[in-house]
Amino acid sequence: MKKVEIYEVGPRDGFQNIKEYIPLETKLEIVDGLVQAGIRHIEVTSFVSPKAIPQLKDSLELSRRCLDQYPDVDFIALIPNLRGAQAAVQAGIKRIAYVVSLSASHNKANINRTHEQSYAALQEIMTAYPQLDIILDLATTFGCPFEGKVPASRVVEFLEEYITLGVKQVCLCDTIGIANPAQVRDSIAALRTAYPQLELQVHIHDTRNMGAACTLAAIEAGVTKIQSTLGGLGGCPFAPGASGNLATEDMIYMLNEMGYDTNINFERILNLAKEEVKRIPAGVYSGHHIHVDATSQCFR
């Protein structure tokens, strides 16, 4: 039985889009529900300025309490710069996600940096904190709202300097849900050929209801680490047309039914999506997907 690891990114990627502050205790209850369902990789927050994303103003306290309560869970934090890395280290986080967009236009719109500035910032972080385990989130891997699609060869070319820098893990992010299964397979095959040592993840948005299909294509191409969000919560306000992420409960249902080993209890994760996430302020519960007013940075 093939094992697939689910990386739940809802507490960061989903929650940041909720305008009204979610109480810390509610966040902790949802994290507890994820852990009880079997999730062992959780992107729990982002260390950014509270002025930029007020929802994540509790990042330090949330991280510390999660790390104390669940020492065996892999908690990840997204960080945008050296200051964020410093805060993550102070909180006890050992694994971070750092975002750069394949598209120069989206990189500027999303994090207000040129490609050169993004590279220099990561170099600075890696020099200051060599102990951190870094996942490079490559946004707009499969297409950009401003620049359109690019060939797989461009992805290979773009990542070369990052791999030379020492990056060992890359998450291929379909920021606006524009990918198709053939494109996903082609990109992964090209990267496997160019960088066989590289550990890959995928993060697919479900804009065109292609999230599960593209993620399954990635799994069949050899990727075993999959990102998703409880209830499909999330989206990208700096990517016109982008809706929510792939719903964790949908992905678990499909993989469990197909005989993959996720080590996650589907009934528990579904009940969590129904009973817990709908309590989030400003979320409009519809079926098992939640649609929100995306008003803050998406990052990927």
Count up the domains in the chain and report the number.
1
Give the residue numbers annotated as catalytic, written as ranges: 236
- Determine the Cα–Cα distance for residues 125 and 204; give it in Å rounded to an integer: 27
Q: Which residues pair with 61 in a beta bridge?
A: none
In this structure, is residue 74 part of a structural domain? yes
pLDDT (0 to 100) of residue 290 = 41
In this structure, is residue 139 part of a structural domain? yes
In this structure, is residue 299 part of a structural domain? no
In this structure, is residue 297 part of a structural domain? no
**Residue 291: pLDDT over 50:** no
In this structure, is residue 300 part of a structural domain? no
- Determine the Cα–Cα distance for residues 15 and 34; give it in Å rounded to an integer: 14
The CATH number of the domain holding residue 79 is 3.20.20.70
Cβ-based burial of 286 (10 A; exposed 0-12, middle 13-18, buried ≥19): exposed
**Residue 120: pLDDT over 80:** yes
In this structure, is residue 257 part of a structural domain? yes
pLDDT band at 150 (very low <50, low <70, confident <90, very high): confident
In this structure, is residue 154 part of a structural domain? yes
In this structure, is residue 60 part of a structural domain? yes
Angle formed by the axes of helices 181-194 and 211-220, nearest 10°: 30
Cα distance between the two ends of the chain: 31
271-287 pLDDT, tens digit each:
999 887 667 764 433 33
Q: What pTM was estimated for this model as a whole? A: 0.91
Q: Nearest 5°: CA angle at 220, between 170 and 177? A: 60
Range of the domain at 277: 5-291
53-68 pLDDT, tens digit each:
999 999 999 999 999 9
pLDDT averaged over every residue in the chain? 90
